[in-house]
Amino acid sequence: MKRTSLVLGVALTALGALFAYTQGQKPLDPFEEAMRQRQMYLETFGILPGELYVEEGKELFYRKGPSGKTLEACDFGKGPGVLEGVYAILPKYFPDSKRVEDLETRIHTCMQKVQGYKPQEIKRDEVRAITAYVASFSSKARMQVVPKHPAELAMYNLGRELWYWRAGNRDMNCAACHDRYAGRRVRLSPLRSPSQGLGSEWPAYRFEADKLYTMQDRLAFCYESIGIPKPDYYSESYIALTVYILAEATKAGHSFEELPFFTR
Amino acid sequence: MKRKGILVVGLLLLGLGLSQVGPFRARLEAAVRDGGTEFARVMLAQDKAQALCSQHRDRLPANLLPTFLAEQRALIQYPEGGKLMGDWRKGQEIFTDPRRGNCYACHSGDPDEVAYGTIGPDLRGYGASRGQGEAVQRYVYEVVYNAWAYFPCSLMYRGGVQGHFTPEEAAHIVAFLLDPGSPVNRR
């Protein structure tokens, strides 16, 4: 058994070297590079950075708020205390808050309404970690964002409008890159359209930034890179765009990556 | 008399109705404002051309094209003295700088630069194959200054119109693409 894997290992290395040799001038593939970095992390530390955020998020999830409650009392879409697969069905409409919420917004809402925190007491990094923890229960889950409630349909329509909304001194919108040039590269970064599964990798640890990025963080990064100031966190633009992107990815039958993902 | 009164009230109501923004548009603006003042300020400052591109999902219907193109053409300013090819070294800086031209995000240029995007046309050897004739210079200058005067709603933003570079600097970029001495045209 051991010998087989050794032989296989040598054969793979040789194949890899041959590939590298024949490719020569080929620019670095960001996805391959991320997987290489991920492997290095595993070999060096025995743990991935995303797992550290998940651990931190778990502690925060079971921390009692001013009301004496933990986030176990929060309904994330499948009833209080249920975490399995909830990330894959969000954003959705919540009758208690009367709005469509994605996971981070839902956490933000429950920390106030269930746990009794004041908005200014809620740290963004804590919401990020809790998002990583809850999302880890939907690792590789099939996406199931299907707008049905009128408020969800309204958010989908708003998201589609924002997707095409050209603004700022770079004259940009999302569609001009992600739809029209899906499969091509911005510098070295490959572009994906929603129907190609855009959004499947968040929340993720980005080794270039050495930070955990949630879907809202990633959308904020997009806006800033096209010369538009990022919206305030938990605001409707994020939720609308997320509904639109994930609903389109759901239609095409995509699943989430290992969550939290490891990426550049 | 009574009939006239009804007509006046009706006209007033009609006028009021037409002057209101639609409910969807109002809802959209509310969602944008929810993102904070800075985000809303930029998003709601769409100019007429950006609004048309958004409305038509970046594919303008044929009947709107002549006006759109004419309006974009009118926004192009030229360097004093009319020299459309400047200094390729200065052009290279603006072409490369991510906060200015940021051209490598979508295009190749200098063959030695490997971190280039593949969205726009490959510009390696651009001048070597086209020469530096007056018509070529003018075309490149105008596309660099305002791409929407040729390609309506293209991803390529209107660098000159939006103030990312001056007319003189646009001419430097033209030189970077056309000048035989520029690395773009190096053999």
Tell me whether residues B45 and A164 touch, CB distance under 8 A: no
Token pair listed for B65: 């094209």
Tell me whether residues B157 and A170 touch, CB distance under 8 A: yes
Domains identified in chain B and CATH numbers: 2-45 (no CATH), 88-185 (1.10.760.10)
Within 8 A of B27 by CB-CB distance, chain A residues are 154, 158
Instruction: Tell which wins on pLDDT, A12 or A62.
Output: A62
pLDDT class for A3, splitting at 50, 70, 90?
A: very low
**What is the C-alpha to C-alpha distance for residues B145 and B143, in angstroms, rounded to an integer?**
5
Whether B75 has its CB under 8 Å from any CB of chain A: the answer is no
- A27 pLDDT more than 70: no
Tell me whether residues A184 and B164 touch, CB distance under 8 A: no
What tens digit of pLDDT does each residue of A68-119 get?
Answer: 999 999 999 999 999 999 999 999 999 999 999 999 999 999 999 999 999 9
Look up the CATH number of domain A49-138.
1.10.760.10
Tell me whether residues B148 and A171 touch, CB distance under 8 A: yes
Token pair listed for A253: 């039958």
Q: What is the pLDDT of residue B2?
A: 65
**What is the C-alpha to C-alpha distance for residues A208 and A49, in angstroms, rounded to an integer?**
13
Mean pLDDT of chain A, nearest integer: 90
Is A222 known to be catalytic? yes
In this structure, which amino acid lies at residue B11? L
User: Is A150-254 the same fold as A49-138?
Assistant: yes
Chain B nearest-CA distance from A169, in A, is: 5
Q: What is the pLDDT of residue B14?
A: 64
- A10 pLDDT more than 60: no
pLDDT class for A264, splitting at 50, 70, 90?
A: confident
Within 8 A of A181 by CB-CB distance, chain B residues are 119, 155
| HEC readout, A101-164 | ECHHHHHHHHHHHCCCCCHHHCCHHHHHHHHHHHHHHHCCCECCCCCCCHHHHHHHHHHHHHHC
Angle between helices A103-113 and A124-135 (to 10 degrees): 120
Instruction: Give me the residue spans of the domains in chain A.
Output: 49-138, 150-254
CB neighbour list of residue A75: distance below 8 Å, 6 or more residues apart: A94, A96
Within 8 A of A232 by CB-CB distance, chain B residues are 34-36, 39
Most B CBs within 10 A among A171, A191, A239, A243, hence the mutation to make, goes to A171
What tens digit of pLDDT does each residue of B38-85 get?
Answer: 999 999 999 999 999 999 999 999 999 999 999 999 999 999 999 999
Report residues of chain B scoring pLDDT below 50: none
A89 — phi, psi (to 5°)?
Answer: -105, 0
Cβ atoms of B162 and A170 within 8 Å: the answer is: yes
CATH 1.10.760.10 is right for the domain spanning A150-254: yes
- The complex scores an ipTM of 0.87
C-beta atoms surrounding A70 within 10 Å: 16
